[in-house]
Amino acid sequence: MRRFEDRVVLLTGAASGIGKATVLRMAEEGASIACADVQVEAVEATAEEARALGADAIALTCDVSSREESAATVQKTVEHFGRLDSLCNIAGILYFENTHQHSLEKWDQLIAVNLTGVFLMCRAGIPHLLESKGNIVNMSSTSALRGNPWTAAYAAAKGGVLSFTRGLAVEYGKQGLRSNSVCPGSVSTPITSAFKLPDGADVALLQRVMPLDEFRGPEYAASVIAFLASDDAAHINGAEIRCDGGALS
Ligand SMILES: NC(=O)c1ccc[n+]([C@@H]2O[C@H](COP(=O)([O-])OP(=O)(O)OC[C@H]3O[C@@H](n4cnc5c(N)ncnc54)[C@H](O)[C@@H]3O)[C@@H](O)[C@H]2O)c1
């Protein structure tokens, strides 16, 4: 499949996990890709791997929660490639904390990266995506669909991403711009391998949304993102696709 031939994709969270797997999947399918992330060396390594697959790929250092950096990242992408066809907002952070012990600083940081960052990237990208009649794929989570313990800000942000994306779908759909969300769960990446539960946490509460024995690799989420960003999903707008091995079924 070469679904991204002549397509320009800007993807945040490209240094690691699902974002990196998506870059490589799209590179194999012919995309030109701007890889954005806060991790300077790791995002350059992703772009290098994409180039080795034959893609025209650049690495851009970007903190998505910065209004200046998000706008500059879109600008640099369009300056380099001349257009933008797909914006994939994959960057995210996660930690677990008892809600009554949650600091406001951590709440603000999590909302800033996981929700405000999506808004800032979309705000900057939409004028270009309207020109190309392109699409947006935003990263939500199964935590937006069902109660998720110890992740007050994370779940709130991911629920916000779902609502925000549905709004974009209606606001811009008739102008040819599609917007959809992906809700993964139990995907093996640094975000899930490094997490630490609060002391005394009852793991069974988490198993409901994240079965700890049913993890799969990031390529399983990458394939869903690539599908939504491709013309195979031309009739899909305002949808969310769960990709969690059936945990919420
Ligand atoms: N792994 C899962 O099971 C799972 C489940 C649901 C949702 N998600 C979501 O998938 C997305 C990707 O996560 P992952 O599992 O690949 O984890 P990951 O930690 O491997 O990747 C997250 C990436 O986001 C980048 N990032 C963090 N803060 C950033 C910022 N301010 N600006 C730009 N980049 C930033 C990190 O550097 C990293 O490269 C996240 O939004 C996460 O919430 C993952």
Burial class (CB in 10 A: 0-12, 13-18, 19+), 103: exposed
- Answer whether 87's CB lies under 8 Å from 125's CB: yes
Distance from Cα 174 to the centre of ligand 1, integer Å: 31
Q: What is the spatial distance between Cα 146 and Cα 143, in angstroms, rounded to a whole number?
A: 6
* Positions of the chain with pLDDT under 70: 212
End-to-end CA distance of the chain: 30
pLDDT of residue 212: 66
Domain 8-241, CATH among 3.40.50.1860, 3.40.50.720, 3.40.50.1820, 3.90.245.10: 3.40.50.720
Q: Which residues line ligand 1 (CB under 6 A)?
A: 12-13, 15-19, 37-39, 62-65, 90-94, 113, 117, 139, 141, 184-187, 189-192, 218
Show me where the domains of the chain are located. Answer: 8-241
- Entry pTM: 0.98
- Answer whether 88's CB lies under 8 Å from 140's CB: no
- Protein residue whose Cα sits closest to atom 2 of ligand 1: 187
Please give the number of the atom of ligand 1 that sits closest to the Cα of 158.
43
